[in-house]
Structure 1
Amino acid sequence: MPRHADCKICTMLETAPPENLVLDGEHWGVVAMREAAGVLMVFTRDHDQGVGSISDAAAAGFGPLIKTLSAGLSASGFEKTSVISLGDNAVHTHFMLVGRKPADAPIFDNTPLMARLACKEGERARAVAGRLRDGLKNSGLTA
């Protein structure tokens, strides 16, 4: 996979200290954040336009990868794993996995987010949900 010198994520695997490199795979890279135990950056190796545009091969590997990483965090003393994706400013789909210890406060409270997103578009929201249901039925992902 070609690396792009001007892309921070492309060069991350090359610059990460070996002890922080978790995975240098064909479709996904994983780097442990240097001084934050249990915090991982998981990213596609391809440039893409977000989660809806990742390759089929990357999509097929995503679930098993996240499950395996979460199990590894659990075995390292973390109670839960939060998965955060806010990659609006990158040309890679990327996620932060954050291992949470039993006494940790929640890192996300959806109340402010939902207040920010609340725009009273109930009819449109139901129409979008219907299109999504139809798409799932047609995809074979639902019974």
Structure 2
Amino acid sequence: MNYWLMKSEPDEVSVDDALAAPESTVPWTGVRNYQARNFMRDGMRVGDGVLFYHSSCAEPGIVGIARVASTAYPDPTQFDRKSPYHDPASKREEPRWLLVDVQVLKKTRNLTLPELRADPELQDLVVLRKGNRLSITPVEPRHWKRILKLLDVRA
């Protein structure tokens, strides 16, 4: 089993939006970074753990525990001319961008970025590295366990 941190801007899809969706599951649309796409395509498996992270908001942080709920498939927003994620270079027969479905299992308190940075056991968490801008990052099992402990969530 692998673990991931997936960032979403709450104005686009919040943890509450995901919980309100059928089966608390949303497609993770709009990823337009090749490395993040490759994580979904090559690394993610159904059942993998996900830390649902709100970004680009007043208090960024981990706000929920989720799981990968599908294998990777083409992101339809790349073909939608009205979408901010439209990619005119992507072809239906050879889609450039993929997504996975993510199912929220539990909303948590906001474990904020300053709290994550302050924990000595999380110093090398990928999302905390200087210059890291990826919307999807792998999470080591030891970091996953520590974060669940900080959130008082049982695995």
TM-score past 0.5 threshold: no
More helix by share: 1
Bigger radius of gyration: 1
More strand by share: 2
Bigger relative contact order, structure 1 or 2, given CA contacts below 8 A and separation 6+?
A: 2
> Which interval holds the TM-score relative to the shorter structure?
under 0.3
| TM, length-normalised to structure 2 | 0.26
